[in-house]
Amino acid sequence: MKTFSAKANEVTRKWWIIDAEDQVLGQVAVKAANLLRGKEKAIFTPHVDTGDFVVVVNAEKVRLTGKKEEQKSFMSFSGFVGGHKTESARSRRARHPELLVEHAVRGMIPHNRLGRAVYRKLKVYRGAAHPHGAQQPEAAVLD
């Protein structure tokens, strides 16, 4: 029996939609990352992008457990002297709530060229409206 290896041009891609309203951020990110990589498919191949497109809606209504809303911090550095900026999860949600989901998913996919290609298939929106209705996305069920 030969080992099966998927080819990127032969993969059929589906569109999935995840409603993040009142869902825990980590569970939303795990489901999105697995769909993006294609880990739930029988043809999954680690070095090939076999995943699907994922649309996450209601990112502003995602839930953080415990005291993460106040205690979780996001740090960025511009490269210049004094260029460190720190922001809490609460202020990031107020400013740009899509970043909460994007940051969580980015940490769960490979940090290489393949991961960057996979990450481009993630679409995150603040509210319930999204422009991908023509793709007829299926609702993904969180475990």
- Residues pairing with 73 in the sheet: 88
- Residues pairing with 75 in the sheet: 86
Burial class of residue 113 in the structure, from the number of CB atoms within 10 Å of its CB (0-12 exposed, 13-18 middle, 19+ buried):
exposed
Q: Kindly report the pTM of this predicted structure.
A: 0.93
Of all residues in the chain, what percent carry a pLDDT higher than 90?
A: 95
Angle in degrees, 0-180, between the axes of helices 25-37 and 98-106, rounded to the nearest 10: 60
Q: Which residues, 6 or more positions from 38, have their beta carbon under 8 angstroms from its beta carbon? A: 11, 44, 49, 50, 51, 52
Where do the structural domains in the chain lie, given as residue ranges?
13-139
For the chain, first and last CA: distance in Å? 34
Averaged pLDDT of the chain: 96
User: For 25-41, what is each residue's pLDDT tens digit?
Assistant: 999 999 999 999 999 99
**Class of CATH domain 13-139:** alpha beta
Alpha helix (H) residue ranges in 7-143: 25-37, 68-71, 89-95, 98-106, 113-119
User: For 81-114, what is each residue's pLDDT tens digit?
Assistant: 999 999 999 999 999 999 999 999 999 999 999 9
User: For 4-29, what is each residue's pLDDT tens digit?
Assistant: 899 989 999 999 999 999 999 999 99
